[in-house]
Structure 1
Amino acid sequence: MPLFWRIFALNAVVLAAATALLLWAPVTVSVPVVFTEALVLLGGLVVMLVANAVLLQVGLAPLDRLSRRMATVDLLRPGQRLPVAGQGSVSQLISAFNDMLARLEAERAASSTRALSAQEAERRRIAQELHDEVGQSLTAVLLELIRAAERVDDADLRADLHHAEQTTRDSLDEVRRLARRLRPGVLEDLGLVSALTALVTDLSTHTGLAILHEFQPGLPALDEQTELVIYRVVQEGLTNVARHAEATRVEITLRHSEGVVGLRIRDDGRGLGLAHEGAGIRGMRERALLVGATLDLGASPTGGTEVNLWVPLDRNGA
């Protein structure tokens, strides 16, 4: 039954019941109205209003649930659907809303795939230019400084040249480190575990964090996209810990069981609190959607933040 006729029928039932009571019940109205008669009429009016409110609340409850879901839906958390009951207009509206969510999630996943693929391609290009152009230029400057320091007799000038040489060497190391972060070549050459180990070692050295990692041996072979998603989630998670968490210890675990590869990043920092998710966390969620993974953030037993990523495997373990 359409919503209009449902509401009309509910009101008609209430009014018909009130009319029947007035017609057949031994109730009369005097002029002027007697107190007992006024009490009966007011009581009947209250009963009618309460009954009408209850019936309307029941009839419009699905629309209230729909409006709340529309206000809180997040395309980065797929699968948020409303239950559909019956075949009326409200049920058709909820079904249309669920179908619209499915289309929006599919379009969001496709657009995120294109955007992140373009981002990775741009990172590779920048990393290559840093390595080939800036890296080679700094190497040439470093060699010139070394030769100049060998030809100079003045001790003060030689010390200045050695200082410039060390500064150039540090800059060259920093450029190489940035290039590795932009394009993890070790991920392509040696695989996920080796790339994560190198990432953890590099970040621990530069941030001073105590990063403990446990990578279960015998991990199933993952495709290139999935390995890159796991690597970027670890990279972004550790970067967030170093910048915002005020933590001293981080634990990283990578395991697989029952058709799922699970990644966990746990720190002992100040936790999320009431902070809103920033671009980094939402970027992690978008990457998780690329491979059908689930990303969850919450409080860790150590008082900080815990990030969990579950990547489903197919029946063949790939």
Structure 2
Amino acid sequence: MSVFEELRSVRSARSSGKRDNKAAFIFLLPWLIGFICITLGPMIASLWISFTNYNLIQKPQSVGFANYIRMFQDPRLINSLRVTFEYVFVSVPIQLALALALALLLDRGMRALPLYRSIFYLPSLLGSSVAVAILWRQIFGQGGLVNQVLGGIGLHNLPGWISDPRFALGTIILLNIWTFGAPMIIFLAGLRQIPDMYYEAASIDGAGRWTRFAKVTLPMLSPIIFFNIILQLIGAFQSFTQAFVVSGGTGGPSDSTMFYSLYLYQQGFANFNMGYASAMAWLLFIIIAIITAVTFVSSKYWVFYDN
């Protein structure tokens, strides 16, 4: 092949590559427009607003870091962080443990598996809806279904579970645990991918059921566990609907269900402190980012990959 033919071949390859890049860019263009206009643009605007005093009516007035300083002096915000952390770090582990237990049960090859899988997945579709939150409020109210059932077995003078500060948050935690369907389906898919030869080799070595679970199932399932932890943590920190509906939008009783997202909503859309609410949103973003980063860093010590 002559030098000129080689040059023509290189030019042809380059032009073909450019056409492929243009086609890829055209297909990505709708997503890029949506990302810039719906996600990145509002984020930048929110960051700017967080340094202002803005009530949605008058023009924003710059106040520097006053909103961020105010956050650390706001006792209700600190309480909302405490409530949110308690909700996240109690409900998420229990929810994932229940999801894994049910996935292990379904993985044993039950009859009518698709039916059970659909039934268990259904709460995940309904758990964050307003209708289910209203139903939950009726179930745990003073004269609700729970108290009626307990009264039927001789227990009387029971509290209104959602009107008692000692139990109100627990009812919302229970509601989140109830929505275990999505992580259960993901766990079940992961269990189906574990090769049987590992269990056979462990059985030949004399490993019992619990040893096989600890030494084979958990390590092989650890990437799925890690994936579910990240998804559920991020989702739990942003929980809003359950607390808003169950408490009637107040975060009561006595701010016992005042989630961070609910307090942010109150500041932004009830008190019209949009600058302060934007600063709160960025604090939540930083908290989620730090916890996610810590989880990613820790994963190298307990997440097992085939390679």
TM surpasses 0.5? no
Shorter-normalised TM range = under 0.3
- Would you tell me which structure has more helix in proportion to its own residues? 2
TM-score of the two chains, using structure 2 as the length reference? 0.24
- Would you tell me which structure has more strand in proportion to its own residues? 1
TM-score of the two chains, using structure 1 as the length reference? 0.23
Larger Rg: 1
- Greater relative contact order (Cα 8 A, min sep 6): structure 1 or 2? 2
